[in-house]
Structure 1
Amino acid sequence: MMPGVGQWAGEAADRWIPREDALSLLGVKPQTLYAYVSRGRIAARSDPLDPRRSLYAAADVARLKGISGFEAIGQVLPFEPAVKGEAVVQSSVSFVADGRLYYRGRDASEWAQTATVEETARLLWGCGATNPFAGLGVRVDSVGGASHRARLFAALSRRAEEDLPSTGRDPDALRREAATVLNEVIDAVAGPGPRLFFHQRLARGWKVLERDSVHLRRALVLAADHDLNPAVLATRAAASGGASPAGAAMAGLVALSSSPVARNLKAATAYVAEARRDPVGAAQRHLTSDGAIPGFGSDSFRHGDPRADAMLALAELPGDLLAILREAEAAGGARAGFAAALAVLARRLDLPRDGALDVLLIGRLPGLMAHALDQITDGSPIRARLRYVGPRPGGEGADAGA
């Protein structure tokens, strides 16, 4: 039974409640509750007893209900006692609830079925009716690089050096600047050409059939953002220091390119290539040698990554790729995660050898710039501190030669 208001006032400060109680007390629909979470007005966390369910901060619900005695609206309570290296970050970009990923309250898997990269950026950047991508042209002085990724980083770093610091600037101007950055990055990777949608320009650059570009579009949209990770933290830390959207996203992309997410995707890509060459027993060999099959299973989505399902549902996979997925899922007992799905799709589209990682990095850029813009415009501090634990001056263990 849901507690009464009086009991709430005494207990809410340190309690987490299930969705049903939050909805009942607030008198709203689930979509409204998810919107509150997306905007940072209600903190949410996974239920430790059932990861498929979410719990909501009772104090935040109480504030919205108008029960007095709590801190100001917008303060995000820590989910657990502080641990070494923990930072608390407020975000209105995306969140995970009940086994689904939401972009500003929109179910990302459903959104990806029809949305373009540009529309996804507008959603994540909070553009409303404004279209910062309107009228963008080709920059004459293109950047060089031996690979798609080298040109991606070259274009981004050039803008990071050129653009003004973000402190005190107009949010709409920053969104337009972010749009030009993304436009230049796409041209750097795909080469200049007709002003098509970003996924179509990339498809032309990678020689993907036009009818298959829809699969590339879906993958790019689904790669845009996913919960807090080192890339997001690096982006927001740079933005809080005044970096431009390009500079902040550059910090995040560097963190992402060498992160466990990227390493897992590389391993999944290698596994798919190996399984295509020698399909018989490939999954069992990996289980025997490594204890797991790369790209399968998910810490964030214990009952299946909805992004993987959305990416593969309409991909029209050939028989050999379907067999790789089925054998690995049967052998390891875990469904294909985002990495495995993207690795398989990259082979389905015949992308370059590292094409899956390129898709991840390019797709994540709108999300990283969304975090940069969110940090710049919201101004909420990143609650983190450095605690020195090294030798004391002149004490035992201090460097005598310093």
Structure 2
Amino acid sequence: MSWISAEAALALLGTKPQTLYANVSRGRIAARPDPEDPRRSLYRQDDVERLAARQKGRRPATTVAAESIAWGEPVLSTAISTVANGHFYIRGQDAAELAKTATLEDMAMLLWNTSAPADFGTMTTTGADTGLIAAYRQVAELAATQMPPSGRARSVLIKDSTLVVSLVASAITGARTGPVHERLAAHWQRPEAANALRCALVLLAEHELNASTFAARVTASTGAPLAAAVLAGLAALSGPLHGTASLSIGALVRDAKRYGVETAISGLLRQGRPLPCFGHRLYPDHDVRAPALMATFTVPALFAELAETGEKLSGEKPNIDFALSALVAAHDLPDDAPLQIFALARCVGWLAHALEQIETGALIRPRARYVGELPA
């Protein structure tokens, strides 16, 4: 794997440094510190050349296919959600508008395409422990015993889906009745945060074919129980590039408190490192979920300054992970609250995709493009 300097990358791309930094921030170009000078960065040559070739003309079909599972061309048909023209739509409705009044229970009805009211306070069993460990354990146990979906009516599968979310909700909140966002607020003893938590759950319930949703959908395509699909989603969500991305802003916040916001941000950018929790590859301007969530609470002064200065210096705006971190700071929620909120909300979306995949009856089985050696 070859790495090149910023000057060489800019020469290949024919762009300004800000555009290079934006591509790094959006994950299109990998970067790492220069071993000979940690103040400078090196950029993965393959990534730079791929972007440069994309700007010059049409790519070969093999290249398009190879990039389809990495922020490339769509690989599955869905009627659930899409990001288009800078907006996020769920079954044709603007997610930012839905987040003004909807609850997670409302989102389940919409995403699962059912008229049956969702109640996630029933059919639950929970032990003394609460949190993500309890949620993982209970979903895993259910995945081992729940019946596979084949040959079962959709109304029964909706009940199975409700049971899965109920288990996760009770494992995380320790409560059994009432809307999920109120149970979360009561569990964390922050009743004033209930509306912001409601909004966050709605905005995070679904987001097209992200990594965890793809994992859940692949699992569902094998005919596995719905709980197994959710377990696959939870496993993928645990990665630092996905569900725990909001934790990555912690170091920037600490440096901003110690050295000042502009010094902390410019220090990252001078090393060619992307600003954590800024920008999103699917949105040409900004992640529309972030302002929708931050409108529900008073953003702490430090986060407001980070957002303003970060946009000024990088050209990128805060994303939903930034908004979740700001929510945690505003209401003094537990450090792992973003992941708990994310997991609980996204269960509803994973199940929507699992149900849709079951209806197709198709196994998701992509081919690999082999680049190793073959025998003579």
TM-score bracket for the superposition, by shorter chain length: 0.7 to 0.9
Q: Which residue of 2 aligns with 1:163?
A: 146
CA contact (8 A) 1:231 1:252 kept: yes
Q: What amino acid is aligned across from residue 322 of structure 1 in structure 2?
A: A
CA contact (8 A) 1:143 1:154 kept: no
CA distance in 2, matches of 1:79, 1:93: 28
Q: Which residue of 1 aligns with 2:165?
A: 182
Deviation larger for 156-165 or 93-102: 156-165
Q: Which of 304, 314, 337 pairs up with 1:332?
A: 314
User: 1:340 Cα shift?
Assistant: 1.1
Q: Does 1:110 align with 2:97?
A: yes
Structure 1 segments unaligned to the other structure (5+ residues): 1-47, 50-77, 397-402
Q: Which of 88, 109, 123 pairs up with 1:101?
A: 88
CA contact (8 A) 1:143 1:155 kept: no
Q: Secondary structure at the match of 1:382?
A: coil
Q: Does 1:122 align with 2:109?
A: yes
Q: Does 1:91 align with 2:96?
A: no
Distance 1:228 1:164, change over 3 A: same
Q: Does 1:173 align with 2:156?
A: yes
User: 1:93 Cα shift?
Assistant: 1.4
Distance 1:84 1:321, change over 3 A: closer
User: 1:89 Cα shift?
Assistant: 1.4
Q: Which residue of 1 aligns with 2:40?
A: none
Bigger RCO of structures 1 and 2 (CA < 8 A, at least 6 apart): 2
Q: What amino acid is aligned across from residue 111 of structure 2 in structure 1?
A: L
CA deviations on 1:7-47 (whole Å, 9 max, x unpaired) are: xxxxxxxxxxxxxxxxxxxxxxxxxxxxxxxxxxxxxxxxx
Q: Which residue of 2 aligns with 1:137?
A: 122
Q: Secondary structure at the match of 2:65?
A: coil
User: 1:85 Cα shift?
Assistant: 6.8
Distance 1:270 1:200, change over 3 A: farther
Q: What amino acid is aligned across from residue 231 of structure 1 in structure 2?
A: S
Q: What amino acid is aligned across from residue 119 of structure 2 in structure 1?
A: F
Q: Secondary structure at the match of 2:66?
A: coil
Q: Does 1:297 align with 2:279?
A: yes
CA deviations on 1:62-105 (whole Å, 9 max, x unpaired) are: xxxxxxxxxxxxxxxx9984226758212121111110011111
CA distance in 1, matches of 2:327, 2:62: 36
User: 1:329 Cα shift?
Assistant: 2.1
CA contact (8 A) 1:234 1:251 kept: yes
Q: How big is the alpha-carbon RMSD for the aligned residues of Structure 1 and Structure 2? A: 2.6
CA deviations on 1:358-389 (whole Å, 9 max, x unpaired) are: 22222211111111111112335536234555
Q: Secondary structure at the match of 2:172?
A: helix
Alignment of 1:240-389 (within 5 A): 240-258=221-239, 260-262=241-243, 264-276=245-257, 278-280=259-261, 281-382=263-364, 384-386=366-368
Distance 1:173 1:350, change over 3 A: same
Alignment of 1:49-64 (within 5 A): none
Q: Secondary structure at the match of 1:133?
A: coil
User: 1:318 Cα shift?
Assistant: 3.3
Distance 1:322 1:178, change over 3 A: same
Q: Which residue of 1 aligns with 2:135?
A: 152
Q: Does 1:238 align with 2:224?
A: no
Distance 1:120 1:240, change over 3 A: same
CA contact (8 A) 2:244 2:339 kept: no
Q: What amino acid is aligned across from residue 124 of structure 2 in structure 1?
A: R
Deviation larger for 261-270 or 106-115: 261-270
- Work out the percentage of aligned pairs sharing the same amino acid: 32
Q: Secondary structure at the match of 2:268?
A: helix
Q: Which residue of 1 aligns with 2:30?
A: none
Q: What amino acid is aligned across from residue 154 of structure 1 in structure 2?
A: R
Structure ID, larger Rg: 1
CA distance in 1, matches of 2:165, 2:244: 24
CA deviations on 1:92-151 (whole Å, 9 max, x unpaired) are: 211111100111111001001100001101111111x212428x43634x2465x72212
CA distance in 2, matches of 1:114, 1:132: 16
CA distance in 2, matches of 1:168, 1:279: 61
User: 1:314 Cα shift?
Assistant: 3.0
User: 1:321 Cα shift?
Assistant: 2.9
CA contact (8 A) 1:133 1:180 kept: no
CA distance in 2, matches of 1:386, 1:328: 39
Distance 1:79 1:342, change over 3 A: farther
Distance 1:340 1:143, change over 3 A: same
Distance 1:217 1:279, change over 3 A: farther
CA contact (8 A) 1:160 1:250 kept: yes
TM-score of the pair, normalised by structure 1: 0.71
